[in-house]
Amino acid sequence: MKIGYFQYNPFYHDVLQNREYLGSRLANHSADLLVLPELALSGYLFRTNEEVFSCAETIPGPSSDFFHSLAKKNNTSYVYGCIEKAEPKASAADDLNYNFSSFYNSSVYINPSGDMKIYRKAHLFNREKNHFLPGNAPFFVFDVQGVTVGMLICFDHMFPEAARTLTLMGAQIICHPSNLVLQGYAQATTRSRSIENHIFWILANRIGTEQSGAVSCTYTGGSQITSPDGSILVSSASDEEDLTVIDIDPSLALDKNITQGNNLLTDRRTDLYQV
Ligand code: ACM
């Protein structure tokens, strides 16, 4: 199975330009599963809900249409991060002062047939809590060419329960669109998540710096793919665009034995803890 990621520096608050760039940059590159960063179409730094609204889209919407057409052209399934504009909620408090929408930091899987899955980030990071609602649906996995795949977004990596939950559901690969700002954390945690769950992990981070008023974010790149034994199969620089696709054997993630006498799933002491 060919899996990979595209690490790049999205145009700031310019969804159309990002779609145009991705269309040209990803042209003629194919993979079974290619992961893009968190908020890949908008950039990450927002100061007002008006700014968020200007970059938000419903799903399906123009960007998922764009990725569906790219998926067909390149015969590739994509996972990309975006701002999801959801339908109005019954409660005014859910509407973030807009009477027409709520926003989620979401990740979308879409394949050449147009099948789609949407994951809403469960663990919001820092100022994201000013703009987005936290994910409100149970974790889930889905099938990609016979392989079981799950999605998490960026800060979710700090909560091992999330990856463990997907593993217990059968995930062999976790797709992890990210906009990391804490140097080195996720490269370490996601490698650990690979080892402790015996799964593949595609960490797709972004690069670049965004500045808005007095606030700035520098993103740390270092995208990587780790394997069930914890090997780093490929990794990228902290500041360079990188489109990387590698071949893996996803069946390696089905074997949860660590020694002849130890299995990561059946050795769990669920009598002593909850997850
Ligand atoms: C993050 O969750 N974007 C750090």
Residue-level pLDDT at 275:
81
Domains contained in the chain, CATH given: 2-263 (3.60.110.10)
DSSP 121-143: -SS--GGGGGT-BPP-S---EEE
Collapsing DSSP to helix, strand or coil, 275 comes out as coil
Ligand 1 proximal residues by C-beta, below 6 Å: 38, 125, 154-155, 179-181
Q: Write the pLDDT tens digit of every residue in 103-158.
A: 999 999 999 999 999 999 999 999 999 999 999 999 999 999 999 999 999 999 99
From its phi and psi, is residue 212 left (phi > 0), alpha (psi between -120 and 50) or beta?
A: beta
Instruction: Render the burial of 204-236: b for 16+ CB within 10 Å, e for the rest.
Output: bbbbbebeeeeeebebbbbbbbbbbeeeebbbb
Q: What is the C-alpha separation between 187 and 159, in angstroms, rounded?
A: 14
Residue 274's pLDDT band, with cuts at 50, 70 and 90, is: confident
Task: Please choose from 120, 124, 128, 223 the residue to mutate so as to test ligand 1's pocket, defined by most ligand atoms within 8 A of CB.
Answer: 128
Q: Please state the rounded mean pLDDT for residues 21-43.
A: 98
Phi, psi (5° rounding) for residue 101?
-160, 160
Q: Please state the rounded mean pLDDT for residues 7-18.
A: 98
Q: What is the C-alpha separation between 116 and 4, in angstroms, rounded?
A: 19
The answer to whether the predicted template modeling score (pTM) of the entire model surpasses 0.75 is yes
Q: Please state the rounded mean pLDDT for residues 238-263.
A: 98
Q: What is the C-alpha separation between 18 and 208, in angstroms, rounded?
A: 14
Residue carrying the six token digits 């123009």: 62
Residue 93's pLDDT band, with cuts at 50, 70 and 90, is: low
The amino acid that residue 264 corresponds to is: L
Which ligand 1 atom sits nearest the alpha carbon of residue 44? 3
Which ligand 1 atom sits nearest the alpha carbon of residue 154? 2
Residue-level pLDDT at 87:
67
